[in-house]
A and B are shown apart, each in its own frame.
Chain A
Amino acid sequence: MISLTSPVRTWAHGWPAGIKLAGLCLGTILLFAIEDMAVQTAAILAVLLLYCLPGRAFLRSGLKHLRVLIPFVVILLVWHFVTDDLALGITVILRMVTAVALANLVTMTTRLTELMDVVRRMLAPLRRAGISTAPLEIAMPLLIRFAPVLIERAELMFQSWRARSMRRQNWRVVLPMMLLALDDADRVGEALKARGGALPNKER
């Protein structure tokens, strides 16, 4: 499965995922609480330094994830240039880029299994209250497992479309994709049931 985890192993990979998430929360709250441009500039430089530390490959893949923000940066620059408060615009841009970059840093240095463990621990109060979290723990792996399967199916459908029609494929492929996914779901449901159901025995 494709993932956003960094190509390079860094020192931050060893940190507990819970601490990284808590730090991210705190950092984001602070960023949105402080309006001062000097602080925002310092913050973005600090985050840039964090991206530079693990080396060039890490920096490059990190910057690639930030490219999605470029259109918004352009819109904001034009907007605030026209309304004549460029300083405010730059502060908003700095804050947005820093917040997203900081969050991506956590994503890049934390494996999915570690995050799932954090989620499991955060949901512990629910389990103690008698609400089962098993459905979530079954549904997540199903989603992760079936996304590439469905992509493969879609690829096959595009190929057969191209083989049969001169026209470009359009929204009509969504219908068979959806029906196949729902058919699969029914079979997966039966398989789950045959293997003991979605709830552990003691919770049933």
Chain B
Amino acid sequence: MEKDLARIALFAALIAILGVIPKIALGFGVPITAQSLGVMLAGAVLGARRGGLAVLLFVFAVALGLPLLAGGRGGPGVFVGPSTGFIIGFPVAAFVTGLVVERLRMVPPAISAGLGAFIGGILVMYAFGTVGMAIVLKKSLVEAALLNTAYIPGDLLKAGLTGMLIAAVAKLRPEMLSWYRASGQRI
């Protein structure tokens, strides 16, 4: 119980610093933040329930006004801004990512985590983000989806990174991944 709580809180802090530290330019030239990588990792490491709760805690802290969102944003203002859909979708994205890794136990962790990040962190996240943008900017869903396409390559990359990072965790510290240990797999 206490350990779960601490992991949830510290992962929320990790997501925060992945967005706040500008130096993680990920080395691809494009100024994409690592914050959505943090959301994917939360689901993939902690699993659906705890991963979702970690991201929910993060979003809650943002709503209260802590400047934890990429670019130092925070406060209720972000929930009426154009990216509100993405922020509301964050916890769901982590939950779905966790759900996928928990269900796909027969495949290597790199693939289940990468696939989870793709389904949760991209498909689910963009569904929320597009609806949010359509409402705030008064566009149709298709037009809003078009405005979002610029970020998809970066997020595909992050889904791939999630797979690689989780594979490394599974090799180095398998006990960190509760869903992985439960499956009885060992490399």
CB-defined contacts of B68 to chain A, threshold 8 Å: 147
Instruction: List 26 A-B pairs, Cβ < 8 Å.
Output: A24-B76, A75-B147, A99-B81, A100-B78, A103-B75, A116-B64, A136-B57, A139-B8, A142-B10, A143-B10, A147-B13, A147-B16, A150-B17, A154-B21, A158-B23, A168-B25, A178-B165, A178-B169, A179-B169, A179-B173, A182-B173, A182-B176, A184-B10, A186-B3, A186-B7, A197-B2
Contact between B173 and A103, CB atoms less than 8 A apart = no
CB within 8 Å for A112 and B65 given contacts A4-B75, A96-B81, A154-B21: yes
A167 to B53, CA, bound (A): 36
**Nearest 8 A/B pairs, CB to CB:** A107-B75, A189-B3, A103-B77, A170-B27, A142-B9, A189-B6, A99-B80, A188-B6
A165 to chain B, nearest CB (A): 12
CB-defined contacts of A102 to chain B, threshold 8 Å: 77
A193 to B21, CA, bound (A): 32
CB within 8 Å for A178 and B67 given contacts A142-B9, A150-B14, A190-B3: no
CB-defined contacts of A1 to chain B, threshold 8 Å: 66
A43 at the interface (CB under 8 A from B): no
Interface residues on B, range: 35 or more
CB-defined contacts of B147 to chain A, threshold 8 Å: 75
CB within 8 Å for A189 and B172 given contacts A139-B57, A147-B13: no
Interface residue ranges of B133-187 to A (CB < 8 Å): 136-139, 147, 161, 165, 168-169, 172-173, 176
B94 at the interface (CB under 8 A from A): no
Q: Which residues of B approach A to under 8 Å, CB–CB?
A: 1-14, 16-18, 20-21, 23-27, 34, 37, 41, 45, 57-58, 60-61, 64-68, 71-82, 136-139, 147, 161, 165, 168-169, 172-173, 176
A26 at the interface (CB under 8 A from B): no
A86 at the interface (CB under 8 A from B): no
CB-defined contacts of A39 to chain B, threshold 8 Å: none
Contact between B24 and A140, CB atoms less than 8 A apart = no
CB-defined contacts of B24 to chain A, threshold 8 Å: 169-171, 173-174
Contact between A4 and B67, CB atoms less than 8 A apart = yes
Interface residues on A, range: 35 or more
CB-defined contacts of B5 to chain A, threshold 8 Å: 135, 138-139, 142, 189, 192, 198
CB-defined contacts of B81 to chain A, threshold 8 Å: 68-69, 72, 96, 99-100
Contact between A185 and B11, CB atoms less than 8 A apart = yes
Encode A90-132 as 1/0 by CB contact (under 8 A) with B.
Answer: 0010001001111110110010100110010000000000000
A58 at the interface (CB under 8 A from B): no
CB-defined contacts of A169 to chain B, threshold 8 Å: 23-24, 27
A124 to B21, CA, bound (A): 36
**Which of B27, B57, B79 is A143 in contact with, Cβ under 8 Å?**
B57
A142 to B57, CA, bound (A): 11
Contact between B65 and A115, CB atoms less than 8 A apart = yes
Contact between B8 and A193, CB atoms less than 8 A apart = no
Q: CB-nearest residue of chain A relative to B76?
A: A103
**Which of A143, A150, A185 is B3 in contact with, Cβ under 8 Å?**
A185
Most buried by A among B12, B20, B75: B75
CB-defined contacts of A92 to chain B, threshold 8 Å: 137-138
B37 to chain A, nearest CB (A): 7
